[in-house]
A and B are shown apart, each in its own frame.
Chain A
Amino acid sequence: MACRSRTQSICAQSSTEAELIAANAAAKVTKYLHFILHESGYTQTEPTPIYEDNDSAIKIVNHSRPTDRSRYVEIRHFALQHWRLMKDIMLIHLPGVVNPADMLTKALGWVLHHRHAPYLMGHYGNPCQ
């Protein structure tokens, strides 16, 4: 597993842009893992789901066209659209409260912390059963 929690290097103008940049960074790590898994003989046959809680960011990627308010976003962050067409990734909406990535972005109370941490670390038991 790979995880990262850090300040974005650029100043996003909106939460949609911020999510787009974060999803872009996550997709890059995903692609890197794809290469390593492929070369080790565990090729990913389906696009990797990227769970996002920002609907507009997902729409920008899935509809492959900018909206009026996203035209200023750097073009490199739109690489996601290309990667989606290449079937490397797909963006899926997941409400914030169940997104385990919450654990690395905000201080959670015990209930949510105790939900996300075991999920990410595989403490919920064997998924094969």
Chain B
Amino acid sequence: MPTFMKLDDAFRDWYLERTGVLLDKDLVLPVLRALQGHPEAARLWEEHISAILEKVGFKNTTHEKNIYTGKFCGEKVLLVRQVDDFALGCHQESTAKSVYSEIGAKLTLHNEAEGPFEYLGLVNSFDGYDVLQTRDYIKLSAESCIRRLLKAHGWDNPSPRESSNKPKPPLHESDVANLFNLAAGPVKNTPEHKALEAEQGFGYRSVLGEILFAYVLCRPDIGYAVTTLAKFSTAPNALHYKSLKHLAIYLRQTQDWGIMCWRTEPVDSLPEVPHTPMKLDDSLPVTPPPSHLRQLITHVDVAHANELRQR
């Protein structure tokens, strides 16, 4: 069945330049060969791959269409699909290979010898995350994203004064009240704003955006700092700049932190990477542990601010 696309201005301009004919906006264009950037490509790919995965034996969840489960080679298999990147969870590598070759065969067109579908081995990065798979745990971290940020701004090496092995907290506690109380900085697109940005040496919003990415990936520990600093992104003052840089330095000191998912049983085929558990502060009461391992736990807290600006 042929697909048609509506003519957009870019195409009409191109056609006018090429042939001197201005096309009517109501015309449609038959698509002979789908290239990248085809307006229907996303939908067609979605339909195509969903049909294939269903045929292979996967079933997706109702709320998240890209999470699939299935049973292959006698074991349960989980699959996550991020458009055209696949991550598969199972016990035996042979199962993964067989599932991949099955999907690959279905993706191969009649005139191709081999489908454009490659088995890349053990996952070490996916969708922006760094994935460390070891005998006892899987760690999802944002290390490469943080390193990229630090490198781009020349913050990748600790200053000689920074000798303590204890990382700083994401925000200076004593600065927090001042973040709200001091006068706002110059608004964007003013000469004063440009001068402050030049003085500080980095763009507030761009650094904030990069840090936000790390937060969204797997760094809930900087959540409060990021959301607080984001409140000032239209008119940051010097203290906001300082706090943001402080946050970036915190990320440097803790760049290998990530979300650890502990295995119920060790997987001996994977390397053993020791993880030193952090020491608990004995002076504080204990947070209750889950009653069993697959239990979900929810924590809720609200900060109430009478001061409107601090909400």
Interfacial residues, chain A to chain B (CB-CB below 8 A) = 1, 3, 5-8, 12, 15, 18-19, 21-23, 26-27, 29-30, 32-37, 39-42, 44, 46, 48-54, 89, 92, 94-111, 113-128
Q: Is the Cβ of B262 less than 8 Å from the Cβ of A128? A: yes
**10 contacts across the A-B interface (CB closer than 8 A):** A36-B63, A98-B285, A107-B176, A107-B224, A107-B225, A110-B168, A121-B218, A122-B259, A123-B257, A126-B262
Across-interface contacts of B258 in A (CB, < 8 A):
121
Give A104 to B117 CA distance when docked, in angstroms. Answer: 41
Once A30-B296, A110-B169 are accepted as A-B contacts, the answer to whether A124 and B223 lie under 8 Å apart by CB is no
What number of residue pairs across chains A and B have CB atoms under 8 A from each other?
Answer: 181
In whole angstroms, how far apart are the Cα atoms of A107 and B228 in the complex?
9
The verdict on B137 contacting chain A, using a C-beta distance below 8 Å, is yes
Cα–Cα, bound, A26→B297 (Å):
10
If A44-B294, A105-B302 touch, does A35 touch B61 (CB 8 Å cutoff)? yes
Q: Any chain A CB within 8 A of the CB of B198?
A: no
Q: Which residues of A contact B78 (CB under 8 A)?
A: 40
| Of the residues A22, A92, A121, contact of B302 by C-beta under 8 Å | A22
Interface size on B, residues (CB 8 A): 61
CB distance from A100 to the nearest CB of B (A): 5
> Cβ of B166: which chain A residues have Cβ within 8 Å of it?
110
Quick one: closest B residue to A53, CB to CB?
B301
* Contact (Cβ within 8 A) B298 A30: yes
B39: A residues at CB distance < 8 A: none
> In this complex, what residue of A is CB-closest to B172?
A107
- Nearest Cβ distance between residue B34 and chain A, in whole angstroms? 32
| Nearest CB of chain A from residue B286's CB, rounded to whole Å | 7
- Contact: A96 with B302, CB < 8 Å? no
**Residue B284 CB within 8 A of the other chain:** yes
Across the A-B interface, give the 9 residue pairs with the lowest CB-CB distance, nearest first.
A125-B277, A122-B260, A117-B221, A101-B301, A101-B299, A105-B303, A39-B61, A107-B176, A50-B298
B220 within 8 A of A: yes
B289 CB within 8 Å of chain A: yes
Q: A48-B296, A118-B278, A122-B260 are in contact. Are A18 and B304 (CB under 8 A)?
A: yes
- Among the listed B170, B281, B304, which residue makes an inter-chain contact with A115, where contact means beta carbons less than 8 Å apart? B281
The answer to whether B285 touches A51 (Cβ under 8 A) is no
Contact at B278–A35, with CB atoms within 8 Å? no
In chain B, residues 146-181, which have Cβ atoms closer than 8 Å to a Cβ of chain A? 166, 168-171, 173, 176
